[in-house]
Structure 1
Amino acid sequence: MRWVVQRTPKSGPVAGGTMVAVMVVVSIAGIASDIGGATFIFGPLLLGLAVPNGPPLGAAIVEQTDTVVSEVLMPLVYLSCGLVVEFSEVNDGPTQLPVVRSTLWTIVILVIGILAKLVLPNMGVYSVWLLASIGVTALIVPLLKTYYDPLGANYSVGQRTIQHLKPNMELRVVACVQDESPVPSIIHLLEASCADGGNPLCVYVLHLVEQVGRASSSFIAHKNKKGFINPIQMDRLLNAFINFEQSKNGQVPVQPFTAIAPHRTMHRDICSLALEENAAFMRDAGEHGEADRPNRTIIPNVLSQASCTVGILNLKGETALPYPTDSKQYIGVLFWEGPDDREALSYAACLARHPSVHLTVTRFVWAMDQNTHTKEKSWDDEVVEELKHEKALNENVVIREVVSKDKEKTIAQIKSIDNQYDLIIVGRSQGSNCVLDEGLVEWSEFPELGLVGDMLCSSDFDGSFAVLVVQQHPKA
């Protein structure tokens, strides 16, 4: 196994002949263990322990054999287990023991283990054990789903939003990435987030790796409490963020982590880290918004279970966000109303403190609602007024108001901003007075981005720019 791993190029495929040889050896191991008096499972089990975790060999074996194992072999194993079960032995076994005593003996055997199996005669133990396993599973699963929810709403404390962030309070961001393509844009966005005079920034980088060819999930912290980093465990992706930390002379601390887990449970690592570190959250949605379906399933789970603000960064085109210290960064905000739009505007206000950031806020006001005053709208006005106050001291901030009368004109106004900005920030939902959802919901390709975010990321918008979709924590 080690010989194969050493001769396989990094990130390269395992030779087809090697996979055939592995399958032949697995068959021989099963036959040999069965002839030797053990079950046919024992030989392949020992062979499996010799396979190194992860790529290239472990991942290749899982990828090429998973369908056959899970869809054919595993059902046959369970079928064979059921065929040898004799439920009549539970009440009328060879030793004529009633069901209660048979169950008690089973418990004793489970405690004593192999010693009990050598001492006691056969009493229908296997049948009782199988019934007990089914019963325990049927009982434990619903109990866990009902009473064990570490990411539930009761675990969230306070208003963990950017809008309610107090001056000089540290802004903590969990940046989650799966590959290297969005790393430059995320770093450049973080650079714009740590302007002088703004909130201090702390970054928790979480490299998400799909669990392939491994027996269990793992969560790795690469930096200890003293700040020491083990370079052997670091990859190019995490090193890019460490270089960013060094370029800021330690003023922006970076904590690197790696989560190796199946796609269906990755959101737990993300939400747990954000909950533990009292942080906001940023995640790349895949270039062009065309992330494959397993990756996309992570985002809705995070949106529904995160205990903080969630930001989804989507890159269109091949160009990354410009580095704000080298060139100007043009950012646009599309603002209607509601908590998500307020959170998007609050984050944009943080970015506007950077001298290289030019911010333009387009506020959409419905003609029929211009004279309407509600509590929700007063909160929106308050956020806008705060930005106007900063605008008086910052000539790089522009606020303009657009009156919209119908859905078609609003869509046309959104399309008119094409290629004007390097980054467009928008809330995931636009409040109750937005009429864009009329007839557009069924056309949404990426519902996790919201209607406007999905529109901006669609193929109707040409050019290269980034879209940041923001969802405020619902408890705010």
Structure 2
Amino acid sequence: MDHTSSLNATSLILPKPSLEADSKFICGSPEFDSLRGIFSGYNPLDSIFPTFILQLLAGIVVSRVIYLVLRPFRQSKILCSVLGGILLGPSVMGLNMKFREALFPPIEMGLLSTFSTLGVMYTLFIVSVKTDYKTLVSRAGRITWVIGFAGTFFPWITLMCLFYSYHDYLPPSLQLKFIPFFVAIILSFTFFAVVALALDELNLLTTELGQLSLSSSLISDLLQWFFVITVASFKQGNTTQAVAAFASTFIIVLICIYGIRPAFLSIIKKTPQGQAVDEFYVVLILLGASVMGFVTDFVGSSIVYGPIILGFIIPSGPPLGSILVEKAECFVMEILLPLFFIRIGYELDVSSLRNWKTSVVLMCIIFVGYFAKFLGVFVSSLSFKLRPRTAFLLGLIMNNKGIVELVIYYRWKKYGILDEETFAVMTLSSLAITTFIAPLTEKLYKPQVRLAPNNRRRCMLTIQTTPCTSQFHVITCVHNEENVNSIISLLEASNPTEISPICVYVIHLEELSGNAAPLLAPYIAKKKKIFMRTNSPISDHIFTAFENYSGNSHGPVIVRPFTMIAPYKSMHENICKIAQEKLTPLIIVPYHENQRHIYGNRVTSLIRAFNTNLQTYAPCTVGILVDRGTRQMNTCSFAYNVAVIFIGGEDDREALAYAERMSGHADVSLTILRVSLRIKKQDELDDTNKGKNKGKSKEAEKEKEEEEAMEMEMLMDDALYDEFKVKNISNACVVCREVVAESNAQVMDAIQSLEANYDLVMVGRSRYQVMELNDIEMPSSRSKNNEPLGLIGDALVSSEFYQGWLSLLVLHRCRGPS
């Protein structure tokens, strides 16, 4: 070994740091002197692997700290990662040459380059797996096609005019003949993956704005796919090589679609229902992403296109797509991808902006292009009668920049298409536009306001106001097959008749995993086309059970099945939208604790938050169904025993109104427990405060108003209860019991006096009258844990009542966020 190799005794033969392999190599000795340790006077940073570990740790820690600082300002994780790379690079900390030589020695950058390339490959693979192109394209209407084309061609034409008009003022790399053409095209595209990641961080995936943005960006994405494949092919040396590269890429695509995709469908078919795909197939497919990168690079295309093509043909969602995303996403997005941003920061040198005149001109042209895209989207949106604010926000979202743009800029710099100055300007412009888009979108678009009950339509119904001679609409949310039996039994007890049939919208809820875009679509029993999304076996069984019930129910029941795949944090928005459109008076959702043994603690907490959001924002009554083993319904000999605890308040009146509907069913037995509360009047209390100053007059007026409101509530309670008794005075299946309570203890005693053989107990959630009886704490009250059930519901699901085996329906009429 000569003296030169001693500069780095542990260097390996590595490719030049680049996303693309070339013919230049760095040579070194394969010896591992780091085994001697620091106590032998050895510096670990003289070796490749310790240096790489330090680069990885520095990149992750710095970007995470920046993310924690900027997260309150709604800045994206990708933006913070790039800023972390810039901070570590030559623009900031790298100005110190000792720091740069220690953390980024040129001779040891090969390993960082290799792993950053893997990070980009697998990131784009995961995004492709999560993207259900077929569904998005099929849902794209004329508006999305127009917005997609206008948002692409209008800025491209604008940028082309500006580039050639100010040709002499541009950096040298943009003065070449065809370079401005390609730069203008890339700046004009909107990439689906970038928009999906941005919307997910803003929690807007399931909103109308989010759905329109995804579909429109997909149209632009399809255009860029045609562009990049063509350019990748014709970058070859001559026409023959270009045609060979294009033909090879086309053949690879055909093999993937008609050879490999059917194999993936076969894997899904062989996977038992409810079980994960065999780990052998998961590992094989993940390795296949690297193989596909090698193949596309081998035929003259880009190394990143192979994983994208493979991800495209994998059926998104469970069981295959979701398990691939679950296994790979965390490691790729949190470990490998930050290495790419470190690389970006290392390559971006702000000091390269020496000619400020050309840099400012280029920056201005780029921002004019962004504004042209905004105008194209804004004007085309207004032409379809979208609200100006929605059109404005859509124009902002379509200007989002992210990982795909950075990959393109980086590769162009490595190819020599962009010089240092142009690369720095384009990268900084992308960061600048992204910096203010997210907080501005967050500020201007608040979908929760749209769902607030004070903004709902005046004709929204409740159970009480639903005419007994009209169709009764119900939305039922189902997580798994265990929820089906109790919901079907409840629907049958709801007394479907010829004059008042039941129309039930059955929505199978699935967490967004293995999909980039949320999905709410009517269920179709069989899909056999090769590009169609495969139905979940669980969905098949759930909807088959409801269809069988519809055909065998005692009365007319219409079933409208839907599949919803969305994040739990925003899933309630689409439910509320359906309730508004269908004028639905009742939404039934399973209790979150019933799902714990299936999904575990994480998903259970998400379902609990989903239920709470529904109770807050739903434009109708929400029923939380606690299922403790209701017996399986037999349509030939159906019998249902229901108890209603009626204390007072609008939630209890909804429960009594629901019982009124059930009372018409000959096979439903009802027991109404009317608990009248004897609350002390204000004039019966000690009058020691009479001598207080006038400053207390406002409090006294407020107390008086509350007392008058309570008296009005009690009058409505008595009126509804008396009406119920009159209607059912001759109904042998209805029994009414009345008790008077002066304390919480007496309320609990009255409830415990009920027999334990009820199939279901119905209560209201709110109980402000009971809270006035604050002589003792409610038994087993865990209001923070079981807040969706209210005080009485919380107590009833505890083990102190009927050994915890009581099935319960807690009704709550939405009154809006407090």
Long gaps (5+) in structure 1: 224-228
Alignment of 1:422-461 (within 5 A): 422-435=759-772, 439-440=777-778, 442=782, 445-461=785-801
Identify which range, 246-255 or 450-459, moves more after superposition. Answer: 246-255
Q: Which amino acid aligns with 2:735?
A: V
- For the 8 Å contact 2:630–2:807, the answer to whether it is kept is no
Q: Which amino acid aligns with 1:174?
A: I
Match of 2:283 in 1: 20
- For the 8 Å contact 1:221–1:256, the answer to whether it is kept is yes
Q: Which amino acid aligns with 2:473?
A: R
From 686, 701, 714, the equivalent of 1:377 is 714
Q: Which amino acid aligns with 2:807?
A: A
Q: CA-to-partner distance for each residue in 1:400-438, whole Å, 9 max, x for gaps? A: 112223223323333343523110000011234444776
Q: CA-to-partner distance for each residue in 1:42-88, whole Å, 9 max, x for gaps? A: 44333322322122321211222233234323444444444544445
From 632, 635, 642, the equivalent of 1:331 is 642
Match of 2:621 in 1: 309
Distance 1:159 1:270, change over 3 A: closer
2:766 alignment partner, SS class: coil
- For the 8 Å contact 1:62–1:213, the answer to whether it is kept is yes
Distance 1:303 1:101, change over 3 A: same
Q: Is 1:414 aligned to residue 725 of structure 2?
A: no
Match of 2:451 in 1: 151
2:791 alignment partner, SS class: helix
1:312 alignment partner, SS class: strand
Match of 1:275 in 2: 580
- For the 8 Å contact 1:61–1:213, the answer to whether it is kept is yes
Structure-2 separation of matches of 1:286 and 1:449: 11
- What TM-score do the two structures reach when normalised by structure 2? 0.51
Distance 1:75 1:416, change over 3 A: farther
Alignment of 1:12-161 (within 5 A): 12-29=275-292, 41-87=304-350, 92-94=353-355, 96-97=357-358, 99=360, 101-108=362-369, 123=422, 124-145=425-446, 149-153=449-453, 154-161=455-462
Alignment of 1:145-294 (within 5 A): 145=446, 149-153=449-453, 154-196=455-497, 199-222=500-523, 235-248=540-553, 251-279=556-584, 280-286=586-592, 288=594, 290=596, 292-294=604-606
Structure-2 separation of matches of 1:176 and 1:17: 34
Match of 2:223 in 1: none
Q: Which amino acid aligns with 2:712?
A: K
Q: CA-to-partner distance for each residue in 1:237-270, whole Å, 9 max, x for gaps? A: 1122122222249832221111111222221221
From 338, 343, 349, the equivalent of 2:654 is 343
Report the identity percentage: 31
Long gaps (5+) in structure 2: 1-259, 374-404, 529-534, 598-603, 685-706
- For the 8 Å contact 2:550–2:559, the answer to whether it is kept is yes
1:402 alignment partner, SS class: strand
- For the 8 Å contact 1:203–1:252, the answer to whether it is kept is yes
Q: CA-to-partner distance for each residue in 1:21-52, whole Å, 9 max, x for gaps? A: 33333345557778999876544333322322
Structure-2 separation of matches of 1:119 and 1:148: 46
Structure-1 separation of matches of 2:773 and 2:329: 44
Q: CA deviation at 1:341?
A: 0.7
Identify which range, 117-126 or 247-256, moves more after superposition. Answer: 117-126
2:800 alignment partner, SS class: coil
Q: CA deviation at 1:348?
A: 1.0
Distance 1:105 1:431, change over 3 A: closer
Structure-2 separation of matches of 1:307 and 1:82: 49
Q: Which amino acid aligns with 1:151?
A: L
1:21 alignment partner, SS class: helix
Match of 2:254 in 1: none
- For the 8 Å contact 1:407–1:435, the answer to whether it is kept is no
What number of residue pairs does the alignment pair up? 464
Identify which range, 260-269 or 77-86, moves more after superposition. Answer: 77-86
Q: CA-to-partner distance for each residue in 1:347-369, whole Å, 9 max, x for gaps? A: 01111111111111112222335
Q: Which amino acid aligns with 1:214?
A: N
Q: Which amino acid aligns with 2:272?
A: K
Match of 2:812 in 1: 471
Structure-1 separation of matches of 2:513 and 2:653: 40
- For the 8 Å contact 2:547–2:559, the answer to whether it is kept is yes
Structure-2 separation of matches of 1:302 and 1:176: 11
Distance 1:152 1:88, change over 3 A: farther
**Higher normalized strand content (fraction of residues):** 1
Q: Which amino acid aligns with 2:621?
A: T
Provide the aligned C-alpha RMSD in A: 3.5
| Higher Rg of the two aligned structures | 2
Q: Which amino acid aligns with 2:312?
A: L
1:368 alignment partner, SS class: coil
1:360 alignment partner, SS class: strand
- For the 8 Å contact 1:173–1:202, the answer to whether it is kept is yes
Distance 1:443 1:196, change over 3 A: closer
Distance 1:75 1:400, change over 3 A: farther
Structure-1 separation of matches of 2:663 and 2:635: 11
1:263 alignment partner, SS class: coil
2:493 alignment partner, SS class: helix
2:439 alignment partner, SS class: helix
Q: Which amino acid aligns with 1:349?
A: E
- For the 8 Å contact 1:193–1:351, the answer to whether it is kept is yes
Q: CA deviation at 1:296?
A: 1.9
Q: Which amino acid aligns with 1:282?
A: I
- For the 8 Å contact 2:630–2:759, the answer to whether it is kept is no
**Higher normalized helix content (fraction of residues):** 2
- For the 8 Å contact 2:496–2:554, the answer to whether it is kept is no
Distance 1:442 1:222, change over 3 A: closer
1:129 alignment partner, SS class: helix
1:349 alignment partner, SS class: helix
Identify which range, 461-470 or 263-272, moves more after superposition. Answer: 461-470
Q: CA deviation at 1:162?
A: 0.7
Distance 1:56 1:37, change over 3 A: same
